[in-house]
Chain A
Amino acid sequence: MYSVKEPDAGTPERKSSEQVTLEIDGRAVTVPAGTSVMRAAADAGVRVPKLCATESLEAFGSCRLCLVQIEGRRGYPASCTTIVEPGMKVKTQSDPLAKLRRGVMEMYISDHPLDCLTCPTNGNCELQEQAGVVGLREVRYGFDGANHFKQAEKDTSNPYFDFDPAKCIACSRCVRACEEVQGTFALTLQGRGFESKIASGNTDFKSSECVSCGACVQACPTATLVEKSIVERGQPDHSVVTTCAYCGVGCSFRAEVKGSEVVRMVPNKDGHANHGHSCVKGRFAWGYATHKDRITKPMIRRSIHDPWREVSWDEAIAYAASEFKRIQAEHGRGAVGGITSSRCTNEETYLVQKLVRAAFGNNNVDTCARVCHSPTGYGLKTTLGESAGTQNFDSVEHADVIVVIGANPTDAHPVFASQMKRRLRAGARLIVIDPRGIDLVRSAHVEAAHHLQLRPGTNVAVINALAHVVVTEGLYAESFVRTRCEQPAFDKWKAFISDPRHAPEVTEEITGVPAAELRAAARLYATGGNAAIYYGLGVTEHSQGSTMVMGIANLAMVTGNIGRPGVGVNPLRGQNNVQGSCDMGSFPHELPGYRHVSDPAVRALFGAAWGVDIDSEPGLRIPNMFDAAIGGSFKGLYVQGEDIAQSDPNTQHVFAALESLECLVVQDLFINETAKFAHVFLPGSSFLEKDGTFTNAERRISRVRKVTPPLAGKADWETTLALAEALGYPMQYTHPSQIMDEIARLTPTFTGVSYARLDELGSIQWPCNDRAPGGTPVMHIDEFVRGKGKFVITEYVATQERVNRKFPLILTTGRILSQYNVGAQTRRTANNTWHDEDRLELHPHDAEQRGIKDGEWCKIVSRAGETVLRATISERMQPGVVYTTFHFPGSGANVITTENSDWATNCPEYKVTAVQVSPTTEPASKWQRRFGEFSEQQDALLPPQSDPR
Chain B
Amino acid sequence: MDALKLVQMANQIATFFESDPDPAAVHDGIAGHIRRFWDPRMRRALLQHIDEQAGEGCRPAVLAAIAANRENLTPAR
B35 / chain A contacts, CB cutoff of 8 Å: 598
Contact of A598 with B36 in the complex, beta carbons under 8 Å: yes
Smallest Cβ-Cβ distance to A795: which chain B residue? B19
Instruction: Tell me which residues from 607 to 640 in chain A have a Cβ below 8 Å from any Cβ of chain B.
Output: 617-621, 624, 627-628, 630-631, 633
Measured CA separation A899–B5 after assembly (Å) = 10
Q: Among B9, B16, B39, point to the contact of A797 (Cβ < 8 A).
A: B16
Decide yes or no: A543 and B19 within 8 Å by CB, A618-B38, A627-B1, A631-B1 being known contacts: no
* Closest Cβ neighbor of A492 among chain B residues: B21
Are B12 and A633 neighbours in the complex by a CB distance under 8 Å?
no
A628 B12 Cβ-Cβ under 8 A: no
CB distance from A336 to the nearest CB of B (A): 13
A596 closest partner in B (C-beta): B36
Known: A793-B19, A903-B15. A618 touches B37 (CB 8 A): yes
Interchain CB contact under 8 A, A619 and B39 = yes
> Across the interface, which residues of A come within 8 angstroms of B20, CB to CB?
492, 793
A150 CB to closest chain B CB (Å) equals 71
Q: Are A797 and B37 in contact (CB under 8 A)?
A: no
A896-911 Cβ-contact flags toward B at 8 Å (1 or 0):
0001010111100000
Q: Does A307 sit at the interface, judged by CB under 8 A?
A: no
What CA separation (Å) do A596 and B33 show in the bound complex? 12
A467 → chain B closest CB, angstroms: 14
Q: Is B57 an interface residue (CB 8 A)?
A: no
Known: A618-B36, A627-B2. A903 touches B16 (CB 8 A): yes
B42 within 8 A of A: yes
Contact string against B for A residues 470-508, beta-carbon threshold 8 Å, 1 for contact and 0 otherwise: 000000000000000000000010001000000000000
Tell me if B1 and A628 are in contact (CB < 8 A).
yes
Q: How far is the CA of A589 from the CA of B38 in the complex (A)?
A: 9
**In the complex, which residues of chain B have a beta carbon less than 8 angstroms from the beta carbon of A867?**
none
CA distance A795 to B17 in the complex (A): 9
Name the A residues within 8 Å of B2 (CB-CB).
627, 630-631
A627 CA / B9 CA spacing, docked (Å): 13
Interface residues of B in 1-50 (CB under 8 A from A): 1-2, 5, 8-9, 12-13, 15-16, 18-21, 33, 35-42
Q: Is B75 an interface residue (CB 8 A)?
A: yes
Tell me, in angstroms, the Cα distance from A654 to B57 when the chains sit together. 25
Beta-carbon nearest neighbor of B33 in chain A: A904
Docked-complex contact B41 and A633, CB < 8 angstroms: yes
Residues of chain B contacted by A903 (CB below 8 angstroms):
9, 12-13, 15-16
Rounded to whole angstroms, the CA-CA distance of A797 and B13 in the bound complex is: 11
Find chain A residues with CB under 8 A from B41 CB: 334, 620, 628, 633
Q: Please, how many angstroms separate the alpha-carbon atoms of A631 and B39 in the complex?
A: 14
* Interfacial residues of chain A within 769-826, with CB under 8 A of chain B in the complex: 793-795, 797, 800
CA distance A250 to B20 in the complex (A): 40
A617-B36 contact in complex given A633-B1, A797-B16, C-beta closer than 8 Å: no
Asked if A10 CB lies within 8 Å of chain B CBs, one says: no
Bound Cα distance A795, B36 (Å): 22
In the assembly, what is the distance between CA of A124 and CA of B67, in Å? 75
What CA separation (Å) do A630 and B5 show in the bound complex?
A: 13
Q: Is A589 touching B15 in the complex (CB atoms < 8 A)?
A: no
Q: Give the distance to chain A from B20, nearest Cβ to Cβ, in Å.
A: 6
Task: For the complex formed, measure the closest distance between the CB of B56 and the CB atoms of chain A, giving whole angstroms.
Answer: 18
Q: Does A588 contact B (CB under 8 A)?
A: yes
For the complex, is A547 an interface residue (Cβ under 8 Å from B)? yes
Residues on A with beta carbons closer than 8 Å to the beta carbon of B38: 618
Residue total for A at the interface (Cβ-Cβ under 8 A): 33
**What residues of B have a CB within 8 angstroms of the CB of A633 in the complex?**
1, 41
| A contact residues around B40 at 8 Å (CB) | 334, 617
Report yes or no: B5 in contact with A627, Cβ–Cβ below 8 A. yes
Chain B residues near A543 (CB-CB < 8 A): 12
A797–B36 contact, CB under 8 A? Answer: no
A450-B8 Cα distance, complex, nearest whole Å: 37
Cα separation A899 to B15 with both chains bound (whole Å): 18
Output the least CB separation between A96 and chain B (Å): 77
Expressed in whole angstroms, the minimum distance between the Cβ of B57 and any Cβ of chain A is 13
Give A599 Cβ to nearest chain B Cβ, in Å. Answer: 11
- Report A566 CB to chain B, min CB distance, Å: 32
CB of B16 within 8 A of CB of A904, answer yes
Q: Are A589 and B36 in contact (CB-based, < 8 A)?
A: yes
List of A residues within 8 angstroms of B21 by Cβ: 492
B16 proximity list for chain A (CB < 8 A): 547, 795, 797, 903-904
Taking CB atoms, residues of chain B closer than 8 Å to A619 are 39
Most chain A C-beta atoms within 10 Å of own C-beta, residue among B12, B20, B39: B39
A588 CB contacts on chain B under 8 angstroms: 39
Which B residues are CB-close (under 8 A) to A899? Answer: 5
Residues in chain B near residue A363, CB distance under 8 A:
39
A509 to chain B, nearest CB (A): 20
Contact in complex: B39, A904 (CB < 8 Å)? no
Smallest CB separation, A542 vs chain B (Å) = 12
User: Which residues A510-563 have CB closer than 8 A to chain B?
Assistant: 543, 547
Q: Within 8 Å CB of A596, what residues of B?
A: 36
Residues of B within 8 A of A547 (CB): 16
Q: Which single residue of chain B is at the shortest CB-CB distance from A620?
A: B39
For window 905-923 of A, CB contacts with B under 8 Å fall at 905-906
Cα of A620 to Cα of B19 in the assembled complex, Å: 27
Q: Give bound CA distance, A589 to B32, whole Å.
A: 13
Q: Is the CB of B75 within 8 A of A617?
A: yes
A617 surroundings in chain B (CB, below 8 A): 39-40, 75
Nearest A residue to B2, CB-CB:
A627
A621 neighbours in B (Cβ, 8 Å): 37, 39
Within 8 Å CB of B18, what residues of A? 795
A566–B19 CA distance with the chains assembled, in angstroms: 33
For the complex, give the distance between the alpha carbons of A289 and B11 in Å: 46
A621 to B37, CA, bound (A): 9
What chain A residues lie within 8 Å of B42 (beta carbons)? 620, 624
Bound complex: CA A621 to CA B36 (Å): 12
Q: Which residues between 365 and 417 of chain A lie within 8 Å of chain B, taking CB atoms?
A: none
- Shortest CB–CB separation between residue A755 and chain B, in angstroms? 34
A794 to B40, CA, bound (A): 28
**Residues from chain B with Cβ under 8 Å of A901 in the complex:** 9
B10 and chain A: residue at smallest CB distance: A903
- Which chain B residue shows the least CB distance to A903? B12
Complex Cα–Cα for A547 and B15 (A): 11
* Minimum Cβ distance to chain B for residue A927 (Å): 22
Residue of B nearest to A902 (CB): B12
Interchain CA distance A903-B10 in the complex, whole Å: 8
**CA–CA, A543 to B11, complex, Å?**
12
What residue of chain A has the Cβ atom nearest to residue B34's Cβ? A618
Evaluate contact between A624 and B39: CB separation under 8 angstroms: yes
Q: Is the CB of B36 within 8 A of A334?
A: no
Q: Which residues of B contact A631 (CB under 8 A)?
A: 1-2
Roughly how many angstroms separate A543 CA and B41 CA in the complex, as a whole number? 23
Assuming A589-B37, A627-B5, what are 5 further A-B pairs, CB within 8 angstroms?
A: A628-B1, A793-B19, A793-B20, A794-B19, A906-B9
**Which B residues form the contact surface with A (CB < 8 A)?**
1-2, 5, 8-9, 12-13, 15-16, 18-21, 33, 35-42, 75
Q: List 30 A-B contacts (CB under 8 A).
A: A334-B41, A364-B39, A492-B20, A496-B19, A589-B36, A598-B35, A617-B40, A617-B75, A618-B39, A619-B39, A620-B39, A620-B42, A624-B1, A627-B1, A627-B2, A627-B5, A631-B1, A631-B2, A633-B41, A793-B19, A795-B15, A795-B16, A797-B15, A899-B5, A901-B9, A903-B13, A903-B15, A904-B13, A904-B33, A906-B9
Please provide the 9 A-B residue pairs with the shortest distance between their CB atoms, ordered closest to farther. Answer: A903-B12, A795-B19, A620-B39, A793-B19, A631-B1, A617-B40, A797-B15, A903-B16, A903-B13
